[in-house]
A and B are shown apart, each in its own frame.
Chain A
């Protein structure tokens, strides 16, 4: 049986209303797709804000696994990978 793979997920400021204000949450998954599903189960609505209906990462969002940019949500995750969600900010 596969061990559960928990990851630390860093949430950008504009999306923290979905995580009760938390800047870092935990989610499980062996791929980004699975992690996003788990994240949405824990924080309903969060996935919508980042991923469109065609499962593409929205154009004002970037997802980094550790410091490496994810090109699609089908990327595999390794144990202890940290996921950083980055959102365009507009304030000046």
Chain B
């Protein structure tokens, strides 16, 4: 594609004095990595490709699933089952053949983060796990990359930017967290257009950082409530005791978040299939176990097993004394992941007679369909 075509393609940018020829040249020389080619990554990638960002990288290990299409606008129905980054690369190059699009088909891990980030200057975080969010932040701080972070939940989004030496990082804002405390989209649901708004904000920030125009979102947390249609801004400062960007950092190398618990980590844990649990509940000889549902209140209210105790995972660490030591406790959640974490917490508190419903209530419901 020739220079003349570019003059036409980018003409509406070239008309803006704030961008113009020099700004467009900066965009062409820019190198942006998008972590997570999902709800946030889709609009961010589309607009940055359209804007002429010279090198656009996407890292994601997932394949396109039907449930993605409600919000992940990079993909279309015939692409279900295709690797997301491969599908995304084709779509972005069709939109703008004049840019380079690099597909990294893997998850971002401590082991590959340094190598992957090396070829980029700006990182857009559109991941859907807190562990990845902290890894991306720490990698950006340690490697001196700019970070544009956004996250979503149901009808609410938040965004912030980090530029080395110019403000606080993500850990200055939320110094630590764990997956059990913060539900993700798969557990809580999300309004499809919400990541569209937040991902476009991330693309806007990237273009501003690249071209040097405007006021970036540094030291400011922007929140968006789609139900109220209201944006709010909260200022926060760099923490001198921040574990990664503070005066005496304790994080000096990259590490993955602790791996999710597996049943093998808990000797003595009894794993129930739905059929096994049904049989156990109807066995009057041995005494029924206590069923503990660790989902959030709105999930529990939408439907639960009879006689189950509701105790959200996030409260378990403080309410474990409510669990009986002399009776088997079987944890239940939507898909079996949170309940396994609950088993881990309960085991850590000295409870020994523990069970987990494998596959959670989703598997339970499916088994009922199959047997009916």
- Is B174 a contact partner of A91 (Cβ separation < 8 A)? no
The minimal Cβ–Cβ distance linking B25 to chain A, given in whole angstroms, is 31
Out of B41, B128, B298, name the residue touching A90 (CB < 8 Å).
Answer: B128
- Is B174 a contact partner of A60 (Cβ separation < 8 A)? yes
- A92–B156 Cα gap in the complex (Å)? 12
Residue interface mask B137-181, A partner, CB < 8 A = 1: 000000000000011111111100000000000000111111101
- A49–B106 Cα gap in the complex (Å)? 34
Q: Give residues 41-67 of A contacting B (CB, 8 Å).
A: 45, 48-49, 53, 58-62, 64, 67
Kindly list chain B residues whose C-beta atoms are within 8 Å of the C-beta of A90. Answer: 128-130, 133, 151, 153, 177, 179, 182-184
Tell which of A9-17, A27-35, A72-80 binds the partner.
A9-17
From known contacts A88-B151, A91-B151, A92-B39, infer whether A60 and B181 are also in contact, taking CB-CB under 8 Å.
yes
Q: Which residue of chain A has its CB nearest to the CB of B35? A: A92
- A92–B182 Cα gap in the complex (Å)? 13
Kindly list chain A residues whose C-beta atoms are within 8 Å of the C-beta of B157. Answer: 89
- Is B315 a contact partner of A49 (Cβ separation < 8 A)? yes
The answer to whether the Cβ of B232 comes within 8 Å of any Cβ in the partner chain is yes
Chain B interface residue count, CB cutoff 8 Å, equals 54
- Is A60 a contact partner of B225 (Cβ separation < 8 A)? no
The minimal Cβ–Cβ distance linking B197 to chain A, given in whole angstroms, is 13
- A64–B235 Cα gap in the complex (Å)? 9
Chain A interface category by residue count: 20 to 34
- A67–B41 Cα gap in the complex (Å)? 29
Kindly list chain B residues whose C-beta atoms are within 8 Å of the C-beta of A69. Answer: 234-237
The answer to whether the Cβ of B185 comes within 8 Å of any Cβ in the partner chain is yes
- Is A92 a contact partner of B40 (Cβ separation < 8 A)? yes
From known contacts A53-B318, A67-B235, A87-B182, infer whether A92 and B297 are also in contact, taking CB-CB under 8 Å.
no
User: B residues bordering A, Cβ < 8 Å?
Assistant: 36, 38-41, 125-130, 133, 150-158, 173-179, 181-185, 188, 190, 195, 221, 223, 225, 227-228, 232-237, 296-298, 312, 314-315, 318
Known: A12-B156, A23-B228, A92-B152. 7 other contacts (CB 8 A): A13-B155, A23-B227, A60-B177, A84-B232, A87-B182, A90-B182, A92-B185
Q: What are some 30 contacts across the A-B interface (CB < 8 A)? A: A12-B156, A13-B154, A14-B153, A14-B182, A23-B225, A23-B227, A45-B312, A48-B315, A49-B314, A53-B318, A62-B173, A62-B234, A67-B233, A68-B235, A69-B237, A84-B234, A86-B158, A88-B130, A88-B151, A88-B174, A89-B156, A89-B158, A90-B128, A90-B129, A90-B182, A91-B128, A91-B152, A91-B184, A92-B40, A92-B151
